[in-house]
Chain A
């Protein structure tokens, strides 16, 4: 399946088996379509602080942080992970479909800062190894300990190993030279990892309510209504922070809708299905772990509390869903 110019495997063995493999053992995803922007120089931290929503000064060396890239009006341009590789060196991972836009945004706002912004999408591949056995598998290949969660370390023979992921499972994401990726892919499969495609990546992330840009995040909505206020440190003065601050308080800047997680009474709602009374479904699927239809939707604030019932127009049939606390799936339940 072509996706943002990449040939992407939707599935290898089937969504169900691949999903279960990640929840119970270990799966490997080729996510080389993700983009990377390196920012380096004496003012790298100050520059990133001026455009990323989170407090970049809080990223320790080898640390990682999630943030949002906002437009001036507070709309979400992308959601990003940033790793601090050195005191003056950062690597930011972008979404494939936003990479060119993000890069242009970085370059435009870098004027006036003593920084170098480098596009690294073509040279870097990215493999995610996720699941309860993922760390054991990768550390056996590496012959040494892996960085803990939310840390990133350059490891000989592997690449930049990051304790992050998009599945709700433990595991790592490995950034490495594109030429080296096929060999590592083969070693991971030999080590027992199941290859997992985009379809299961989507069911896994949706069960734990991670946002997908283009579905749940978009320029026409801000991080507050998306539930990403925790990743916004308004006092840092990032581009869009005035709008984000206004969205937190009652007043004209406050959004009228909120992104919620829901569980269907029956059936499956899909992206674009309208919610009665306002709002729409942004992601929807059958949850392989829970065995019910699940999803996320923007709904009017008054309906955005766990326990409230919403009615969704699924191709002309009105189906009931219940708003639930996030995440919908927890490891221990």
Chain B
């Protein structure tokens, strides 16, 4: 498992999710803190491409040996892509939560929602 890290170029949701915004789309995932709390991830149940997601609402489940956890959407929009590689290699969520372990890509319906997300310093200050 990788060491704790929280990249500065991401925006964070207090429920331990991250968003990387690229124009009108964003990539979502869970933070290092979330994957560490879950333990070894053994299953990711992705949403359907085309399904809507709403800010602050669950859109998928991540399951570890220990527990099942809802994944909360940091922003609203429509799923345009899911990380299909996680079907065979869900451990990427532990090993590389901001890279290979990304979960979904979303076409944003309200890009201004970014203003309610936390920057790295604010998010990490809430962790301790």
Interface residues of A (CB under 8 A from B): 10-11, 14-16, 199, 203, 267-268, 270, 285-286, 293, 315, 317
Contacts of B81 in A (CB 8 A): none
- Contact between A267 and B45, CB atoms less than 8 A apart: yes
- Contact between A286 and B43, CB atoms less than 8 A apart: yes
CA distance A15 to B66 in the complex (A): 9
20 A-B pairs (CB sep. < 8 Å) = A10-B66, A11-B39, A14-B40, A15-B39, A15-B40, A16-B40, A199-B65, A199-B66, A203-B65, A268-B42, A268-B43, A268-B63, A270-B68, A285-B65, A286-B43, A286-B65, A293-B43, A315-B61, A315-B68, A317-B45
Contacts of A10 in B (CB 8 A): 66
Which 8 pairs show the lowest CB-CB distances between chains A and B? A286-B42, A15-B65, A16-B40, A268-B43, A14-B40, A268-B63, A199-B65, A15-B40
Which bucket holds chain B's interface residue count?
A: 10 to 19
- Contact between B39 and A14, CB atoms less than 8 A apart: yes
In addition to A15-B40, A267-B43, A268-B43, 15 A-B residue pairs with Cβ atoms within 8 Å of each other are A10-B66, A15-B39, A15-B65, A16-B40, A16-B65, A16-B91, A199-B65, A199-B66, A203-B65, A267-B45, A267-B63, A286-B42, A286-B63, A315-B61, A315-B68
Contacts of B45 in A (CB 8 A): 267, 317
CA distance A274 to B45 in the complex (A): 19
Nearest residue in B to A15 (C-beta to C-beta)? Answer: B65
CA distance A315 to B42 in the complex (A): 17
Contacts of A14 in B (CB 8 A): 1, 39-40
CA distance A285 to B39 in the complex (A): 14
From 71 to 91 in chain B, residues with beta carbon under 8 angstroms from any chain A beta carbon are 91
Q: A286 → chain B, closest Cβ, in Å?
A: 4
Contacts of B39 in A (CB 8 A): 11, 14-15
Q: B3 → chain A, closest Cβ, in Å?
A: 15
Contacts of B91 in A (CB 8 A): 16
CA distance A268 to B45 in the complex (A): 10
Q: A19 → chain B, closest Cβ, in Å?
A: 9
Q: B84 → chain A, closest Cβ, in Å?
A: 13
Max chain A Cβ within 10 angstroms of own Cβ: one of B1, B42, B43, B66? B42
Contacts of B61 in A (CB 8 A): 315
From 37 to 68 in chain B, residues with beta carbon under 8 angstroms from any chain A beta carbon are 39-40, 42-43, 45, 61, 63, 65-66, 68
CA distance A16 to B39 in the complex (A): 10
Q: B32 → chain A, closest Cβ, in Å?
A: 16
CA distance A270 to B66 in the complex (A): 11
Q: A9 → chain B, closest Cβ, in Å?
A: 13
CA distance A267 to B40 in the complex (A): 15
Nearest residue in B to A315 (C-beta to C-beta)? Answer: B68
Contacts of B68 in A (CB 8 A): 270, 315
Contacts of B1 in A (CB 8 A): 14
CA distance A315 to B63 in the complex (A): 12
Nearest residue in B to A285 (C-beta to C-beta)? Answer: B65
CA distance A117 to B43 in the complex (A): 48
Contacts of A199 in B (CB 8 A): 65-66
Nearest residue in A to B42 (C-beta to C-beta)? Answer: A286
CA distance A10 to B91 in the complex (A): 19
CA distance A293 to B42 in the complex (A): 9
Max chain B Cβ within 10 angstroms of own Cβ: one of A203, A268, A315? A268
Q: A15 → chain B, closest Cβ, in Å?
A: 4
Q: B9 → chain A, closest Cβ, in Å?
A: 29
CA distance A199 to B40 in the complex (A): 11
Contacts of A268 in B (CB 8 A): 42-43, 63
CA distance A235 to B66 in the complex (A): 43
Contacts of A267 in B (CB 8 A): 43, 45, 63
CA distance A15 to B61 in the complex (A): 20
CA distance A161 to B63 in the complex (A): 38
CA distance A14 to B63 in the complex (A): 15
Contacts of B66 in A (CB 8 A): 10, 199
Nearest residue in B to A19 (C-beta to C-beta)? Answer: B65
Contacts of A286 in B (CB 8 A): 42-43, 63, 65
